[in-house]
Structure 1
Amino acid sequence: MKGIKYIISIFILFSLIVGVVACSGEKKTEEKSAEAKQQTFTCPMHPQVIKHEMGTCPICAMDLVPFEKNSDDKSIKLDAQRQLLANIKTIRIGDGENGDISNQSVLNGRLVIDPQQSNYISAKVAGRIEELFVRETGVVISKGQPLYKLYSEQLATLQQEYLMALAQQKQFAGDKLEQQLVSSAKQKLLLYGQTEAQLQKLNKTQQKNPYVTVFATQGGTVAELSITQGQYVAEGSPIMRLEGYGKLWVEVDVYPNEMQQIKQGQALKVVVDGWEDQAQTMKVDFINPSLQAGTQLTQIRGSIANPNGQWQAGLQVKVMLTSQAVSGEMNLPIDAVIRDGKGQHVWIKTGKDSFEPMSVSTGKANGNSINITSGIATGDEVVVTGAYLLYSEYVLKRGKHPLDKS
């Protein structure tokens, strides 16, 4: 009897232990599920603010928005009030509101330095920079202007050889060998930066001078200075780099579908931003045969004159590309298409408060409209105002580009 009671007691104790473990497991599962469902919120203007409940930003007092970085949903939601504040406007493809594309496309480009206008000045002879006449970058120098004065024992030795050759020539007048020695010694001095006037003075005074003043062989602007006064330099050491701005390159970004309209030697109209009244003509000198790394863009290049140096490298330009007019329903305002290194996309309204990015291919464009060749269909409601805000909102909430697959 006692044995039966003992067995029953053991069974009851085991049942209690199993029940406690099961409850604990269910509780942990519920906690994990709750943690997984917990929503985080962030501020559109200050993404460093992250909270686990709806509220306002402590910095700017804006309402927090859901933070959905790990979401695989391609769409993004914007309530009616935020759509109104963001001036989100749409048009439906096929409703007759889309106009024709004019016969002029606008390509974006920039001015860059023409490397053919650059010139490096290096030390022709080893020595010490005794005096530096140009001590800062940005200085404009002209051809023949003195740049620096160099002290060189090597130069003094070459001058002594030249004087000795001249003395020998006087003693053996008419000797061809002596004439060749004088000519050789003179040529060495000229190669080391001495001028004809300096050699004539040396011949007249018979006094060697270990100092040589180096003059600019061409004009330009000092873009880089590699030495300081008192510094020792070796033969061939870089002294300074000069840049000329009388002519500038124009580098233009072009999408592959636009390349069929461009040929080598073609003349294009160039307008520098801010100087719309001074249009220039550029001839296409180079067409890049490959796309830029990580983008869907290639480049063409030409050059324009830069009168009085009024334009600087880095200024943005617009290049006009003439093409045939395109009519049809797949024409959108230029701002409706987001164009970057990842490609081109528009935003489609898929619900009352829902918007989804859609990759598109484009054709001809001008300053106001662009033709869509694929990616959207008749009946799609496309965002034409506020597309960049939706793009920024998506990147903020998802932490990735709208065209990324994952």
Structure 2
Amino acid sequence: MAFRTVLFIVVFSLGLLAGYLGRGYFFVEQKATSTSPTVGERKPLFYRNPMNPAITSPVPAKDEMGMDYIPVYPEDLQGGTSTTPGTVVIDPVTMQKMGVRTQKVSMKELSKEITTYGIVSTDEDGLFMVHAKFNGWVEDIKVKRTGDWVKKGEVLLYVYSPEIVTAEAEFIMALRNLSAVSEGSKEVIKDAKALLMASKKRLELFGLPDWFIEDLKKTKITKKVVPIEAPADGIVTKIRVRPKSFITPKTILYEIADLRTVWVLASFFEEELPWIKVGNRALIEIKGINKGKFEGKIDYIYPVVDKKTRTVNARIILKNPDLTIRPGMYATVTVHSAAHGEVLVIPKEAVLRTGKHEHVFVMREPGKFEPRAVSLGLEANDLVEVLKGLSHGEEVVVSGQFLIDSESSLKEAALKMMEPTANKKAGNMKMHHHMKNHASNMKD
């Protein structure tokens, strides 16, 4: 019994000794391994968050989900032989997974179809205000309703005017005077003719029609009332007088509009103005008129921008022989415009906009992408004009560029982080050489 007890104690002691010696060997080996890095081992510059590349750490770390930060090595920030910051190199397999597609910069003539709204308006060249050229009282109104069609020369109303009656009497007296001196001297006849011409001219200046003056000449009888005629063909849009009312040359008697030609005032936003030119063909569709689309041309572009709508009106002239188009109608206007000559273009989807500037990614060689700032012009049909930054035939990324841009921005930021360190090392080296040279000079 005692022998067994002694044997157990000896075996247990030998086990403890072996464990202690093995543990010491393990720690010594581990320490040697940890303190003796392999020759040529890569050293990371920093570590970045796997879910948010903008978050970095100078030492290994874990994110909120327990995932290890990804080490970033110097070669990860290299863009090949290019010196352009932000250049990205991607292997073919990764490119395929990212869905990267490219398209060549080309020369094309941009064209654009703009659809907007418009309002039918009266042609101002066909709008007439009827006035009398004398004072008087309205005796009789012949055209009494708005909407009536009148012809040029048609009598609208009759007016009594004492000064017109006086002028008529002077004209008749001049006629009789000329007849009385027909057998007199040439000088007397000449004076009589001059007086007649002056009195007739006065009636013409008052706006009396020729037929009325001729009637006075034949009858030699003054007329109590005189006619006021329509100055042009058109529709009476307003009547401003009533019987027995007193009128002056300032009084607007009638408003007449010739609607056989109308205007459509189409509204265009400021960014659409480069496409709108005088002479552009326009197709106009008007609700309530089942006659298809009307065709016209832009006649004038107004120089003022509406402060509320931020739009500019363009005037389109339409023929309206049957008077079916009425002022105030709503119209849908479609204008097709083309740019002058061919321009350098790329797809709009290739452009990355930061708010301050626009840039694209150019494929310099297979798998190598360089960021390039560009200056853009007109846009139309998913294409955009390139004014500066690209050349014909270069290839730009049109799909997957957002992932490339994220990687490019990260690399560019990392390079900027490295610049202070590099400058500091260069400064230390320069100081070291300076102190060394100074010590050497002191020794000498």
TM range (shorter): 0.5 to 0.7
Choose which of 251, 272, 275 in structure 2 pairs with 1:258: 272
Cα 1:260/1:308, change in 2 over 3 Å: same
Tell me whether 1:196 sits opposite 2:210 in the alignment: yes
Cα 1:372/1:294, change in 2 over 3 Å: farther
Whichever residue aligns with residue 237 of structure 1, its letter is T
Choose which of 223, 239, 244 in structure 2 pairs with 1:230: 244
Cα 1:124/1:252, change in 2 over 3 Å: same
Following superposition, the deviation at residue 202 of structure 1 comes to 2.3
Tell me whether 1:126 sits opposite 2:135 in the alignment: yes
Aligned to 2:145: 136
Cα distance in 1, alignment partners of residues 379 and 118 from structure 2: 18
Q: Is the 8 A contact 2:298 2:315 kept in 1?
A: yes
Cα distance in 1, alignment partners of residues 237 and 203 from structure 2: 29
Tell me whether 1:104 sits opposite 2:113 in the alignment: yes
Whichever residue aligns with residue 207 of structure 1, its letter is I
Q: Is the 8 A contact 1:273 1:317 kept in 2?
A: yes
Aligned length: 242
Following superposition, the deviation at residue 329 of structure 1 comes to 6.3
Q: TM-score, normalised by structure 1?
A: 0.53
Cα distance in 1, alignment partners of residues 116 and 283 from structure 2: 10
Identity of aligned residues (%): 22
Following superposition, the deviation at residue 208 of structure 1 comes to 1.4
Cα distance in 2, alignment partners of residues 176 and 157 from structure 1: 23
Question: 1:82-231 alignment to 2 at 5 Å?
Answer: 104-173=113-182, 174=186, 175-231=189-245
Q: Is the 8 A contact 1:106 1:319 kept in 2?
A: yes
Structure 1 counterpart SS, 2:253: strand
List gaps (5 residues or longer) in structure 2. 1-98, 100-110, 339-344, 351-377, 386-400, 403-444
Following superposition, the deviation at residue 172 of structure 1 comes to 2.2
Question: 1:321-400 alignment to 2 at 5 Å?
Answer: 321-322=335-336, 364=380
Cα distance in 2, alignment partners of residues 186 and 178 from structure 1: 12
Q: Is the 8 A contact 2:265 2:314 kept in 1?
A: yes
Cα distance in 2, alignment partners of residues 243 and 108 from structure 1: 24
Q: Is the 8 A contact 1:193 1:212 kept in 2?
A: no
Q: Is the 8 A contact 2:154 2:230 kept in 1?
A: yes
Tell me whether 1:273 sits opposite 2:282 in the alignment: no
Cα 1:280/1:372, change in 2 over 3 Å: same
Following superposition, the deviation at residue 212 of structure 1 comes to 0.9
Cα distance in 1, alignment partners of residues 145 and 200 from structure 2: 34
Cα distance in 1, alignment partners of residues 174 and 146 from structure 2: 42
Cα distance in 2, alignment partners of residues 363 and 316 from structure 1: 28
Cα distance in 1, alignment partners of residues 270 and 290 from structure 2: 27
More off after superposition, 259-268 vs 189-198: 189-198
Cα 1:169/1:282, change in 2 over 3 Å: same
Structure 2 counterpart SS, 1:281: strand
Structure that is richer in helix per residue: 2
Cα distance in 2, alignment partners of residues 315 and 326 from structure 1: 41
Cα distance in 2, alignment partners of residues 176 and 300 from structure 1: 58
Cα distance in 2, alignment partners of residues 284 and 193 from structure 1: 37
Whichever residue aligns with residue 332 of structure 2, its letter is K
The C-alpha deviation readout for 1:313-333, integer Å capped at 9, x for no partner, is 122222223368997669xxx
Question: 1:240-259 alignment to 2 at 5 Å?
Answer: 240-259=254-273
